[in-house]
């Protein structure tokens, strides 16, 4: 393993994040506060509890996941798209790094930042509501797993995209709607049929509920189903990356 | 001769667009030499380098680096190769020092500030080590690219058109740098359209056109083998016109009538010089000085590509 090479990419990417550290952290703090003011105060006063959990606490895992998804995709896709765009990718491609090592550097850094943002949101939420985490270790592991999966997905988006505007398309047009419709801010049990059953086809439902389960020990789907869905998503992304390096798709002429 | 440090066999590249950039190219590079790959735009120089360095996929063929297959042993082989690409591409928001250290670590070597300092000093970049890359001039950026390529101490260095669009002074610096690298035992493969560059620096020259190596020669042998020479005769008395008795040699008379020039084929068995001189003596034309000059690689190059086209057309 070329650990130094992986570490070089990882450090480079984190350094890039550090240049925009303050905006990078201010944005999640402000959005989280806004969510609490709008959802917590305005809606929460109508809807005090969901499955026995105070509404304010109930939306915390959903808020964290929403940011984790978009941050992961954006950071990872930008991280690999930028060198493709400027041409500095030549150095990565000519280095003694395997595909796995290259991905580990980029995805590891993007996942680190995404997790940091999610934890900042968690901290901000604490200013508004008390939140207990039932399984903190599992919560962190699950957070890492989802972050890695979405960063791999973002890496694929960054390779696939032909321009910077396409980097925005997937998070904005697919992931954010799926998250809002996937029970980030409500329990899908509150939906009438057929919407409840249709919603079960939304993979994001499983990711959010799996994460919520680590907080409260209860969720709309079983933890096993959630974990299986998350692992399946990670597997699909891994296969996609394997295929990219195998064929050189948009990476090597 | 020892085994080649780089051995290319049957290398082919057809881009997805259908362009056949390389057509079964064979080439051996000797340890420690400076090899110039000379060819017009679109000849396939960058494609060849990119395939060796792992940036472009070969359609067919193999590359051996010191006897090791370049894909099967990519960790070992890539560590030995440094690449300065044709385009100036860099992370413009990075400080110089960290971008060069990054390159070293990317290749799996542990950070070595003393080594990096040496490289930056050699390239006159040390004073700028804290600068952000976008603040540097074009010439400095080009040297940064070289520093990055040297950061992992490669023993094979590719320079893809290192002096394209570079001013005279920097070009001289570049030549000196290449000579110093050779003294350290680095094998240098450079591409250029400037014939004077190949002539100035290379030990051997390869001429590539339309994806084919037209010829590979020792530079001196090449110039001798293919070079035409020109004989200049400084006449004691200016002539009005070339006398009919010398017409067989087709000599040219300068405008002032004081210099007679005669072009001859240096590789021919009979150069025609002794007979020309004899004929001049018979005609009573005396000269006070003479010299012969090798024609430049440029002439050779134009000649070769021209002949290549002619053959293709026939
Ligand atoms: N990525 C690419 N896709 C398609 N065609 C390419 C690509 N890169 C180079 N070519 C074509 O391959 C040929 C050789 O190009 P190149 O290797 O860049 O030549 P050189 O470096 O000698 O100027 C040219 O016809 C060029 O247009
Ligand atoms: Mg080129």
Proportion of chain A above pLDDT 70, given as a percent: 97
Proportion of chain A above pLDDT 90, given as a percent: 58
Residue A234 counted as domain residue: yes
- Rounded average pLDDT over A115-121: 94
Residues of A in contact with B102 (CB under 8 A): 8, 11-12
The 8-class DSSP code of residue B18 comes to S
pLDDT of residue A50: 79
In this structure, what token pair is assigned to residue A161?
């995209």
- Rounded average pLDDT over B200-217: 90
Q: Which of the residue ranges A171-175, A234-238, B96-100, B262-266 would you say has the lowest mean pLDDT?
A: B262-266
> What ipTM describes this predicted complex?
0.88
User: Does residue B97 have its Cβ closer than 6 Å to ligand 1?
Assistant: no
Q: What is the DSSP string of chain A?
A: --HHHHHHHHHHHHHHHHHTHHHHHHHHHHHHHHHIIIIIIIITTT--EETTEEHHHHHHHHHHHHHHHHHHHHHHHHHHHHHHHHSTHHHHHHSS--HHHHHHHHHHHHHHHHHHHHHHHHHHHHHHS----S-HHHHHHHHHHHHHHHHHHHHHHHHH-SSHHHHHHHIIIIIHHHHHTTTSSS-GGGSPTTHHHHHTT-HHHHHHHHHHHHHHS--SS-HHHHHHHHHHHHHHHHHHHHHHHHHTTTT--
User: Does residue B47 have its Cβ closer than 6 Å to ligand 1?
Assistant: yes
Q: Which of the residue ranges A113-117, A171-175, B25-29 would you say has the lowest mean pLDDT?
A: A171-175
Q: Whose CA is nearest to atom 6 of ligand 1?
A: B15
Overall pTM > 0.80: yes
> Which residues, 6+ apart, have CB-to-CB distance to B23 below 8 Å?
B12, B210, B211, B212
pLDDT at B310 over 60: no
- Rounded average pLDDT over B287-295: 84
Interface contact flag, B107 A253, Cβ < 8 Å = no
pLDDT at B174 over 80: yes
How many Å apart are CA A68 and CA A117, to the nearest integer?
7
Strand-pair category, B228-235 with B259-265: antiparallel
How many Å apart are CA A245 and CA A248, to the nearest integer?
5
Question: What would the pLDDT profile of B102-147 be if each residue is shown by its tens digit?
Answer: 999 999 999 999 999 999 999 999 999 999 999 998 889 999 999 9
pLDDT at B186 over 60: yes
Q: Which domain holds residue A152?
A: 3-247
Task: Residue A217: name the closest of A146, A141, A134, A139 by CA.
Answer: A134
pLDDT of residue A44: 60
How many Å apart are CA A239 and CA B267, to the nearest integer?
62
Interface contact flag, B93 A252, Cβ < 8 Å = no
Q: What angle do CA B86, B91, B97 make, to 5 degrees?
A: 100
Q: Which of the residue ranges B35-49, B86-100, B219-233 would you say has the lowest mean pLDDT?
A: B219-233
Is A250 at the interface with chain B, CB within 8 A? no
**CATH: 2.60.40, 3.40.50, 3.30.70, 3.30.450. Which one for B228-294?**
3.30.70
Q: Which of the residue ranges A115-129, B173-187, B203-217, B282-296 would you say has the lowest mean pLDDT?
A: B282-296
Residue A253 counted as domain residue: no
Is A87 at the interface with chain B, CB within 8 A? yes
Question: What would the pLDDT profile of A49-93 be if each residue is shown by its tens digit?
Answer: 777 888 888 889 999 999 999 999 999 999 999 999 999 999 999
Interface contact flag, B93 A86, Cβ < 8 Å = no
Domain count, chain A: 1
What is the CATH code of the structural domain delimited by B6-224?
A: 3.40.50.300
């Amino acid at each position: 393993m070329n650990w130094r090479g992986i570490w070089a990419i990882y450090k480079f990417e984190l350094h890039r994040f550090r240049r925009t550290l303050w905006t990078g952290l201010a944005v999640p703090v402000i959005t989280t506060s806004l969510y609490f003011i709008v959802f917590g105060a305005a809606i929460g006063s109508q809807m005090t509890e969901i499955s026995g959990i105070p509404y304010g606490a109930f939306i915390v895992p959903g808020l964290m996941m929403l940011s984790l998804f978009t941050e992961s995709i954006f950071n990872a896709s930008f991280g690999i798209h930028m060198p493709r765009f400027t041409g500095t990718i030549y150095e990565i491609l000519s280095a003694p790094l395997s595909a796995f090592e290259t991905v580990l550097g980029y995805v590891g850094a993007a996942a680190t930042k995404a997790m940091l943002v999610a934890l900042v949101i968690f901290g901000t939420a604490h200013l508004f509501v008390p939140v207990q985490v039932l399984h903190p270790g599992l919560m962190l592991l699950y957070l890492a797993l989802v972050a890695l999966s979405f960063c791999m997905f973002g890496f694929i988006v960054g390779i696939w995209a032909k321009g910077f505007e396409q980097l925005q398309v997937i998070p904005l047009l697919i992931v954010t709607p799926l998250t809002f419709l996937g029970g980030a801010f409500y329990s899908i049990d509150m939906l009438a049929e057929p919407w409840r059953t249709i919603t079960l086809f939304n993979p994001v439902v499983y990711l959010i509920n799996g994460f919520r389960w680590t907080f409260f020990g209860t969720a709309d789907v079983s933890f096993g189903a959630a974990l299986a869905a998350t692992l399946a998503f990670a597997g699909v992304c891994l296969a996609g990356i394997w295929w990219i390096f195998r064929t050189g798709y948009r990476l090597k002429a | 001769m020892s085994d080649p440090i780089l051995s290319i066999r049957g290398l082919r590249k057809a881009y997805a667009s259908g362009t056949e950039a390389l057509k079964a190219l064979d080439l051996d590079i000797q340890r420690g030499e400076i090899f110039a790959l000379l060819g017009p735009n679109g000849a396939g120089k960058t494609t060849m380098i990119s395939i060796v360095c792992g940036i472009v996929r070969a359609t067919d063929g193999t590359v051996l680096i010191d006897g090791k297959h370049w894909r099967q042993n990519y960790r070992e082989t890539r560590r030995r190769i440094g690449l300065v690409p044709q385009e100036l591409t860099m992370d413009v928001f990075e400080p110089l020092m960290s971008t060069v250290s990054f390159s070293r670590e990317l290749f799996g070597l542990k950070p070595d500030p003393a080594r990096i300092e040496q490289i930056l000093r050699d390239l006159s970049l040390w004073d700028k080590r804290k600068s952000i890359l976008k603040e540097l001039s074009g010439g400095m950026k080009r040297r940064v690219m070289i520093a990055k390529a040297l950061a992992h101490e490669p023993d094979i260095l590719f320079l893809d058109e290192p002096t394209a669009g570079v001013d005279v002074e920097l070009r001289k610096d570049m030549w000196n740098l290449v000579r110093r690298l050779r003294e350290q035992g680095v094998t240098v493969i450079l591409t250029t359209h400037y014939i004077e560059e190949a002539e100035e620096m290379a030990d051997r020259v390869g001429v590539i056109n339309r994806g084919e190596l037209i010829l590979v020669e020792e530079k001196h042998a090449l110039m001798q083998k293919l070079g035409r020479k020109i004989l200049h005769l400084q006449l004691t008395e200016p002539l009005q016109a070339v006398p009919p008795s010398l017409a067989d040699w087709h000599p040219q008379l300068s405008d002032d009538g004081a210099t007679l020039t005669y072009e001859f084929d240096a590789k021919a068995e009979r150069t025609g010089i002794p007979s020309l001189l004899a004929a001049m003596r018979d005609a009573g034309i005396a000269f006070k000085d003479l010299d012969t000059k090798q024609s430049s690689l440029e002439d050779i190059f134009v000649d070769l590509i021209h002949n290549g086209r002619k053959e293709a057309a026939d």
